[in-house]
Amino acid sequence: MLRLDRVVKPWKESGALNAHINLYAFWNDEVFLTKSGDLGIVLRVRGVDYENLDQAAQEYAVKRLEAALKIFGPGFRVYQYLFKTNRPQIPFQSYDDPIVQAAVNQRKHFFESKLESLFEVEIFYAIVIEGTRSKTGVTAALKQLATDPMAGLRELKAQFSNDKMKVLVREHIQADLLKLEQRVNSFIRQLADFLPINALQRDDCFRFFRRLVNYDSWRIEGRPTLVTAPPTDAKLTAVPFAETRLCAVFSDGHAAASKEHVTLEDFANDEWILLPRNVNATIHDTILETAARTGIPFRQAHGVINAEQAFYLVSERAGVAILPRPSTLGTPAGAVVVRPLSDPALSFETCLIMRRDDDSKLVNQYARAFLRKYARKLGSGRQMELPLSA
């Protein structure tokens, strides 16, 4: 759950993503196209465990990488990015054997106590091929007259006018695409035996570019942002796409833990953990109004700004949390139960939130694809209205 002022203010200050990064659209699921006509692929590189290698093995790995990079000759640019983040998510598997599970839990608690001193390092390569028509200027236009007279004349004309629009030909893009994919696949195959490399898909690639210009995780994941029961704001476009029912989060020892459907009356004697009014006034006021109508005395123990804080307080037996279903937390811990509230009034629209003046083609492309995908999941025969710019 995000505060709308936190969503709007940074976007006002920073502008759209395409104002900082030269992106135009995605040509396919892996390849992006820039506004200057270049094509690129982003690769995730897992790296090698250098601590377990002696000096000779480390030198061998470096030489293998150097030899593989020589595949990208003139016309290619290789950008290396490194992200270092603290408090990484450490995956653990569950086992049926109680002895093995106890050992895993002990190891998990050990790493949780060390999270503040643990870091995750991620390495990415952005491989970009210079487009056939990406060079600009009088010299480049004169050179182009011999091979492509029409394009050369168009470029010369653009140098002496205010028209800066670039015309891209599909045949040229397809030729660059074939060359790019061949070189990248050859690079991956040469290092596949000791260096795991995979190309980022469209959504992951879009998230990667957002990480280049953002530090806050909630902003990186926002892309556009999903908000339940958003207030009316002239600066934002809100596209409703789903009904979200509030949930109660409580300990597994609660009397309501055996019920599949619960109401506010089941928690009349508990202290409540709610989102404060300055986070979402609509949800906060509706909960209090529903409680007042059913004669439930309100006793708020804590105010939280996100689901992570609510889960922690519930696990500490501080009360019962009432909030939109936290879809990003995955499966709740064994000591915490999540149940939907059956009260009819506690159901709200979840909307896709975008800045109204954001005319980024990339952001609109993502928003349309997301909404269409979600409409197919719902199986609705009615066409979903998308009030987004073309």
pLDDT in tens, 260-271: 888 888 888 888
Q: What is the pLDDT of residue 123?
A: 93
Q: Token pair 């995000």 is at which residue? A: 2
Residue 387 burial class via C-beta count within 10 angstroms: exposed 0-12, middle 13-18, buried 19 and up: exposed
Residue 330 or 273, more confident: 273
Q: What is the mean pLDDT of residues 309-313?
A: 79
Q: What is the pLDDT of residue 184?
A: 94
Q: Domain spanning 227-349: which superfamily?
A: Periplasmic binding protein-like II (3.40.190.10)
Q: What is the pLDDT of residue 349?
A: 77
Whether the Cβ atoms of residue 358 and residue 16 lie closer than 8 Å to each other: yes
R_g of the chain computed on alpha carbons: 26
Q: What is the pLDDT of residue 140?
A: 67
Q: Percent of the chain at pLDDT above 90?
A: 13
If you average pLDDT over every residue of the chain, what do you get?
76
Residue 55 or 330, more confident: 55
Q: What is the mean pLDDT of residues 330-343?
A: 72
HEC-encoded secondary structure of 294-306: CCCCCCEEEECCC
Q: What is the mean pLDDT of residues 131-155?
A: 66
Q: What is the pLDDT of residue 291?
A: 86
Residue 39 has pLDDT above 70, yes or no: yes
Nearest to 323 by CA among 374, 276, 278: 276
Q: pLDDT digits over 89-112, tens only?
A: 788 888 888 898 888 888 888 888
What does the block give as tokens for 61?
């790995």
Q: What is the mean pLDDT of residues 250-269?
A: 87
DSSP string, 167-187: ---HHHHHHHHHHHHHHHHHH
Q: What is the mean pLDDT of residues 304-317?
A: 77
Q: pLDDT digits over 146-159, tens only?
A: 776 776 676 666 66
Domain span(s) for CATH 3.40.190.10 in the chain: 227-349
Q: What is the mean pLDDT of residues 333-347?
A: 80
Q: In the structure, what pLDDT confidence band is assigned to residue 13 with cuts at 50, 70 and 90?
A: low
Residue 259 or 140, more confident: 259
User: Which residues of 256-375 form beta strands (DSSP E)?
Assistant: 272-274, 300-303, 320-324, 336-340, 347-355
Whether the Cβ atoms of residue 23 and residue 362 lie closer than 8 Å to each other: yes
Most confident range, picked from 104-108, 238-242, 356-360: 104-108
pTM, entire model: 0.51
Residue 274 or 239, more confident: 274
Q: What is the pLDDT of residue 188?
A: 93
From 2-16, 48-62, 165-179, 241-255, the region with the lowest mean pLDDT: 2-16
Residue 63 or 147, more confident: 63
